[in-house]
Homo-oligomer: A and B are copies of this chain.
Amino acid sequence: MGVHNYFKSLSDLEKLLRCPGKFKYHEHSVASHSFKVTKIAQFLGTVEEKYGHEVDWRSLYEKALNHDYAELFTGDIKTPVKYASKELRELFSQVEEEMAKKFIEREFPEEYQAIYLERFKEGKDDTLEGKILSVADKIDLLYESFGEIQKGNPEPLFLEIYQEALQTILRFKEMDSVQYFLTSILPDMQHERFIEQSELNIITNQMIKDALKG
């Protein structure tokens, strides 16, 4: 009981895998996903600022850092559940929120409870920071699913996730940071190359030929 348990719980997030069993090449934990989302949100916020929008950085960082903390209590089951029904999805959000609330009331000293109740709330609201979080969360998901597809994971789930993530990002296409992502970052992902055996053989033969000539 106490903040000690909160600190310890951070370690549990390191061991909580996203889509358990699905990623075959590169697994992702909730802890490292949260880190990446916060870093991506940082970049998107920086772009927004460049384009003259005011960013409440404290709010942005808080939203990004904590956005998946409640998965501590239910695991990462949102992905398969998401494809089931809307009611189920809402039910799960409700369950997670309730369990987070109980956790805070049990572990935190009273004077910090209100602050943490606020921090553990769903952050994806209509503020600029909420929207940046929505986009950053999906950009990381896009990278995670792209990484699997590119390495040869034939699981159709990843194509669905890739499409769903891109769809969500595109819903925010009015944002300057999303424009930046679509025009200056995504094309580089699309140009990632694969190394084919035939290409490897050509390179190898050329190198040997050059060396023997030299």
**A window 142-196: CB within 8 A of B:** 143, 146-147, 149-154, 156, 158-159, 162-163, 166-167, 170-171, 173, 182, 184-186, 188-190, 192-195
User: What is the oligomeric copy number?
Assistant: 6
Q: Cβ of A204 and Cβ of B15 under 8 Å apart?
A: no
- Contact present for A184 and B14 (CB under 8 Å): no
Name the residue of chain B whose CB is nearest to the CB of A88: B95
* Given A17-B20, A156-B193, A208-B170, A5-B102 contact (CB < 8 Å): no
- Set of chain B residues within 8 Å of A57, measured between Cβ atoms: 57-58, 61
Whole-angstrom distance between the Cβ of A83 and the nearest chain B Cβ: 10
- Chain B residues contacting A139 (CB-CB under 8 Å) are 7
Contact with A159, one of B12, B15, B43, B195 (Cβ below 8 angstroms) = B195
A211 touching B20 in the complex, CB below 8 Å, given contacts A65-B38, A143-B7: no
Q: Residues of B contacting A158 with CB < 8 Å?
A: 195
Query: Which has the most chain B C-beta neighbours within 10 Å: A39, A40, A194, A201?
Result: A39
Interface of A is mostly: helix
A207 with B170: CB separation less than 8 A = yes
Instruction: Output the least CB separation between A19 and chain B (Å).
Output: 10
* Chain B residues whose CB sits within 8 angstroms of the CB of A171 once the complex forms: 211
Residues 1-18 of chain A: 1 if any B CB is under 8 Å from the residue's CB, otherwise 0?
111111110111111110
Residues of B within 8 A of A95 (CB): 88, 91
With both chains docked as a complex, state the minimum distance between the C-beta of A156 and any C-beta of chain B, in angstroms. 7
